[in-house]
A and B are shown apart, each in its own frame.
Chain A
Amino acid sequence: MCAGLARWLGIDPVIVRVAFVVLGLSGGFGAVLYGALWVGMPDDNGRSVAAKMGTGSARDRSQRVLAIVLLSLGTLLLLRETGLWIGDKFIWPLVLAAGGLALVWPESTGLALRRGLGVHENRRALLRIGVGIVAVTVGIVVFGIANTEWHEIGDVGLAVGLTITGLLLIFGPWWLRLGRDLVEERRRRIRSEERAEVAARIHDSVLQTLALIQQKAGDATETARLARRQERELRDWLFGVAPATDGVTLKAAMSRAAAEVEDLFGVVVDVVTVGDAGLDERLEALVSAAKEAMVNAAKFSGAPTVSVYVEVTGGGVTAYVRDRGAGFIPETVPPDRQGIAESIRGRMQRHGGSANVRSTLGEGAEVELMMPGARAAPQSGEQAPSNA
């Protein structure tokens, strides 16, 4: 140490050593300075003793700890001799309590009660903690008893306060760490559960469908149908379009009808909905009629896509089912074809609605369904400016 200081000061090490001996003999200030410099000064590698404290073998560590403790004690005794002293009964209990805390706090050495540590290490940690707690308790009690002036003023409150302070000091760090560990562990668990759910979902749906598509690679219609169905499912899951209320609202029922038609006939049915309404008997009839129109379009028009548009207004519900396929002349449809006559027009009329079929040869067809009524008014709030 003296050599290091001498190099730093640029003088002969002998002079430094002599100076320290003189300082040490006269009042002891030199000894304190020596100790402080020894702990704090970096060695040739730039690392101080304090920094090296946490490294090295267990034996190295305990030797250094012992050195620091003795040095601290020496310093205290020295201060006591020189008169820089508040009083025995004040300082010694505090020193005892501080030493106990140093043993207890897990952050002080990184040694702590933790899962993953061996039984042996945990036993050592327990021993340390036991000794630490005793030291803190004794320190606080002695402090209370010895400082009589406090004792006189103090009543039960002081004792309770001291005890609580002691407990907080001892257990505070543990509680903090315990809380952190719990939060971290829960976060990890949630994350892994989510990952598992996504993996399961991808496997059940996407991977299965991809396997099916590979098997049926020669069948274009079937492949398109599988891809479309998978797209629909994945979209519902990702963007949450299919709520638990499936089939309860007009919108959900119409989407489901369209999905069934897609699956049956391998066409794409695009549904656009504006507004929504609770499903009653009349709207169920409208959905059924619309589905029949979709089926007709899928079966006869030859168009790959069917467009469905549903709008809920104050006056009722209107639905359009449109394709750009072959088209037909409505008047020439044979009366025995039940589709349009019965399943669409008849059904709508029975429930107080109407159906209108328009078509031009070569330009596709459109079926317009109209269900008037007050029942259509409730729109689940999303359309109306509720707090305007």
Chain B
Amino acid sequence: MPETRPKVFLVDDHQLFRSGVKAELGDAVELVGEADEVAAAVELVLERQPEVVLVDVHMPGGGGRAVIEEVLAKNGDVRFLALSVSDAPEDVIGVIRAGARGYVTKTITGPELVAAIERVRDGDAVFSPRLAGFVLDAFADPLSGDGPATGDADLDQLTARERDVLRYLARGYTYKEIAGQLSISVKTVETHASAVLRKLQLSNRHELSRWASDRRIV
């Protein structure tokens, strides 16, 4: 094995699903613990110091978002990858803004999940096609809209290159495939993805807050 196995902690309130994930992950990761509710998860994660926490978005008592916020308030080094069956934008955006480094749906295959975990462990961002689509939607190019952009321009807009990367992610391309398409290195693709994640977490663009609720109506 070229690299050490990532230390993973699993938080999900469904026993059945935890078993499924464990079976999918197999020996590819080192599972250091699991929890089925928010308070226990926060305590155990802080105690066992995993590299990556797989956290379910929907749980009683505040959900994955509460786990992420409470852990990050005490230990900023833990990295989170959100897992969800929900594609609802407010869930996805909410958990990313709380500090998750990525979001994947629960239908993801085992090898893809392992790859996503390793990517998050290495400090990079993980975008499912749907999350990439959400971000493109929320950061719609102001030039194509009917009004000028406001606020912090650096955080509130995506660069043309970031937009390109997101479009390929939304089309289902892997980082490697994107690097090939754009003739750049995989490392550069990762840099763009991380920059997008940062903007998603820090931007005050009012579409981000307003947008989720709008989406439900449309």
Q: Tell me the residues in window 102-117 of chain A with beta carbons closer than 8 Å to chain B beta carbons.
A: none
B171 contacts A309, C-beta separation under 8 Å: yes
Question: Which residues in chain B, 152-178, are within 8 Å of chain A measured between CB atoms?
Answer: 167, 170-172
**Chain A positions within 8 Å of B150 at CB level:** 385, 388
A56 within 8 A of B: no
Query: Contact residue range for chain B?
Result: 20 to 34
Known A-B contacts A240-B216, A243-B218, A275-B137; the reply to A385 vs B171 at CB < 8 A is: no
Q: How long is the Cα–Cα vector from A68 to B82 in the complex, in angstroms? A: 69
Chain A residues numbered 234-254 whose CB sits less than 8 Å from any CB in chain B: 235, 239-241, 243
Does B192 lie at the interface of the complex (its beta carbon under 8 Å from any beta carbon of A)?
no
Asked whether B81 is an interface residue with its Cβ less than 8 Å from the other chain, the reply is: no
CB pair B142 A311 closer than 8 Å = no
Q: Is the CB of B206 within 8 A of A274?
A: no
| Bound complex: CA A380 to CA B145 (Å) | 11
Cβ of A301 < 8 Å from any Cβ of B? Answer: no
The answer to whether B107 and A272 touch across the interface, beta carbons within 8 angstroms, is no
Given contacts A382-B211, A384-B140, A385-B207, 11 further A-B contacts (CB under 8 A): A272-B171, A275-B140, A309-B129, A366-B171, A382-B137, A382-B214, A383-B140, A385-B147, A385-B148, A386-B147, A388-B206
Chain A residues with Cβ under 8 A from B167's Cβ?
309, 311
Query: A322, B147: Cβ atoms under 8 Å?
Result: no
Could you say which residues of chain A place their CB within 8 Å of the CB of B215?
382
Contact B144 A314 (CB under 8 A): yes
Question: Residues 354-382 of chain A: 1 if any B CB is under 8 Å from the residue's CB, otherwise 0?
Answer: 00000000000010000000000000111
The reply to whether B147 and A309 form a contact with Cβ atoms under 8 Å apart is no
Question: A239-B86, A272-B130 in contact; A307/B171 too (CB < 8 A)?
Answer: yes
Query: Which listed residue, A307, A314, A385, touches B172 by the CB 8 Å rule?
Result: A307
Complex CA–CA separation, A295 to B144 (angstroms):
32
| A274 with B170: CB separation less than 8 A | yes
Interface residues of A (CB under 8 A from B): 235, 239-241, 243, 268, 270, 272-276, 307, 309, 311, 313-315, 320, 322, 324, 366, 380-388
Question: Considering the chains assembled together, what is the distance between the CA atoms of A320 and B171 in angstroms?
Answer: 7
Measured CB to CB, the closest approach of chain A to B99, in angstroms, equals 23
Centre residue among B141, B144, B214 by max chain A CB count within 10 A = B144
Of the residues B136, B142, B214, contact of A274 by C-beta under 8 Å: B136
Known: A314-B144, A382-B137. A235 touches B87 (CB 8 A): yes
Q: How far is the CB of A47 from chain B (nearest CB, A)?
A: 43
Contact of B206 among A241, A382, A385 (CB under 8 A): A385
Is there contact, CB below 8 Å, between B145 and A385? yes
When distances are taken between beta carbons in the complex, the residues of chain A under 8 Å from B216 are 239-240
Identify the 3 closest CB pairs spanning chains A and B, nearest first.
Answer: A384-B145, A307-B172, A314-B144
Residue of A320, A381, A385, A387 ringed by the most chain B CB atoms within 10 A: A385
Q: How far is the CA of A377 from the CA of B206 in the complex (A)?
A: 22
Expressed in whole angstroms, the Cα–Cα distance for A382 and B139 within the complex equals 11
